[in-house]
Amino acid sequence: MSRVAIQIILYKSSQHFEPLLDSLNAQTYRDFELFFLDNSEDTVESHDAETMLQSSMSNFKLQVSKTNIGFDGGHDKLYRMHQAPFILLLNDDATLAPTYLEEVMKRIESDEQIASVTGLIYRQDKKTVDTTGIEYKCLARIVDRQTIPSSDGEVFGISGAVALYRRSAIEKAGGLFDPSWFMYKEDVDIALRLRRAGFVAWFEPNAIAWHKRGLQQKRNILERFLSEWQRPARLRRCAYTNQLRIYRRHFRWSLGLKDLSQSLATELIRSAGTFLVSPKVVAQSWYDAFTS
């Protein structure tokens, strides 16, 4: 059994696949096995992915889903296929510097209380910071940190785009992802669960990666509204539903008045924006979040 299982969900990934595989082949740390699940719902796309894997990789498993079971369902399925003590979740539009896996493994193996590690993740322009972990503002606002701290150190949690986890910690925190979430907010949920179980997340600046990120983060209200308008209704529903599920799972009166008041204000704005774009999504999401 390999020490690390690298899990990758493919979805219409042909434009990203070659640089992704090149970066994996270049890793200085070699004790890993690759697990792919293709959600593309396209037999030609799946065949092309398998052909590229066979020509460049020797240690991999490829599953093809007849339907798109999402980021969470896909990773849950791959997670159950192995017993590797460490799991690297890697988006199909990400690439790793050659020493990425070596650096994050060195960090996570240095302390059993470290449950997850992220490196310094840039956007594909190689200048803009994508994430150096996720930071807690309030329960309604747990976001990617897009600044580079002066040194390595503890962070609240890590982005699921390029995420190394310790399996034993995941098991103590209740498992990896809930397949019913489909996608969005799963990295927030597991960060909260791992912290509650007594573990810490870590930022390792010597590990460098790049991530295209399909959904760009907007800064002003108009840009956020337009971005939400352009997003497919199914994904709007997932994002809104899963935020409600965060409240259902992690609300505590012990969060305090400041956190709860900030969360209420943030959620009122978010809900108003979602309602303006799609009133039906709001109604469906409240039903989904509190009945499943």
Torsion of CA 179, 182, 185, 190, to 10 degrees: 20
Torsion of CA 142, 253, 179, 109, to 10 degrees: 60
- Tens of pLDDT, residue by residue over 46-61, are 677 778 777 777 778 8
* Residues pairing with 169 in the sheet: none
For 128, 158, 227, 246, 271, the CA distances from 264, given in Å and listed in that order, are 31, 24, 22, 13, 10
Distance (Å, whole) CA 210 – CA 131: 10
pLDDT at 228: 63
Q: Picking from 14-18, 186-190, 200-204, 217-221, which range would have the lowest pLDDT averaged per residue?
A: 217-221
pLDDT at 273: 83
* Residues pairing with 90 in the sheet: 162
Percentage of the chain surpassing pLDDT 90?
A: 67
**Homologous superfamily assigned to 4-211:** Spore Coat Polysaccharide Biosynthesis Protein SpsA; Chain A (3.90.550.10)
For the record, the structure tokens of 5 come out as: 């299982």
- Tens of pLDDT, residue by residue over 260-290, are 999 999 999 888 888 888 888 888 888 888 8
- Tens of pLDDT, residue by residue over 115-171, are 999 999 999 888 899 999 999 999 999 999 999 998 999 999 999 999 999 999 999
CB 210 within 8 A of CB 124: yes
pLDDT at 16: 79
The ranges of the chain annotated as CATH 3.90.550.10 are 4-211
Tell me the CB-side half-sphere exposure of residue 280, using CA atoms within 13 A.
2
